[in-house]
Amino acid sequence: MPFKLETEFPKRQPDVQVFFHGLLMLIPKADSSECLVGVHRLTNDHRLSVEVRVRGAEAPDPPLLRLSGPLDSTGLKIRVFPGTQDGVRKFEKDQTNFDRSVPGLDANNPNGNDPRDFRWCVDLQTQQAAMPIFQIDPTGISPSITMTDGLFHTARLTDPSIVKVQLIRSNGNKEPLERVARIIGANIYLEDNQKVVLDWFADGKEQKLDLPKIKDDRTALIYIDNSPSLMPSGKPDHSEFIEYFKVTNADTPFDVDFDIVGPATAGTDLAPCMSVPVGG
């Protein structure tokens, strides 16, 4: 269990929210001290972008930082200073077997699955129990991003009334996934003396952006995206999961099929470009 487990989702507002979309591989260290966010780079049409904003009293909010294109070889580090022993955690409502067919948690269904549960994610390593642990080619996911703190969770789910999601085994068998995490989030909670620091290298020197705790409960937002410039409409014409297995030593043990239900319209729920944990 590389991510530490939390079964209660904090009621307080996070000070920083990080969102992951596109071809990104979330690989936690065995001791839960950090999570490596591998940026898949073996495709021609995906481009990394990192944008930081602080949610203000009135919109629109101008960005504090915008990085576009490959990172320098040192990558990007997102850390809490002064540091803590919290490390990287995942939210799971309980430790029972997770049934994707159970409706979501609401007033009429108090025992339903929480939409923020991390188990909605399609884990590249543990989706198939008999699958051997594979090796990842670091050159295929570097330069990368490192996070040393955060509560990882599902930030946005697919809607079964819009898109049907199926897992396709290597033998051709299909299994309904019902809903999957389209966007993964990580919440960071600060004390009064703490801040989130972003470190990277650009323009020939080390760069840094400080995000201190904001007193009026405003939240800083960090968007990390590695997707095509234009999200497709209609049924995807390629598989993102085949792309993921290109940077491993494993054959493709499974695929995920997104089948549009009803009229094809543009929107992030329709695109297969989703981030995945690896052994999370």
Report which secondary-structure segment, H or E, holds 255.
Answer: strand 254-260
Q: Which residue has the higher pLDDT, 105 or 245?
A: 245
Query: Is residue 105's pLDDT more than 60?
Result: no
Query: Which single residue is written with the structure tokens 């396709």?
Result: 168
What is the identity of the amino acid at 67?
L
Which of these ranges, 64-68, 126-130, 145-149, 174-178, has the smallest mean pLDDT?
A: 126-130
Q: What is the pLDDT of residue 263?
A: 65
Cα(270)–Cα(230) distance, integer angstroms? 12
Task: Return the residue matching tokens 């399609």.
Answer: 122
Quick: pLDDT tens for 53-63: 998 767 778 89
Sorted by sequence, the CB contacts under 8 Å of residue 59 that are 6+ apart come out as none
Please give the helix or strand (H or E) that residue 244 lies within, else none.
helix 240-245
For residue 52, the SS3 value is strand
pLDDT at 272: 66
pLDDT tens-digit readout, 116-136: 999 999 998 876 556 667 888
Amino acid identity, position 32: S
The residue ranges of every structural domain in the chain are 4-158+181-232+273-277
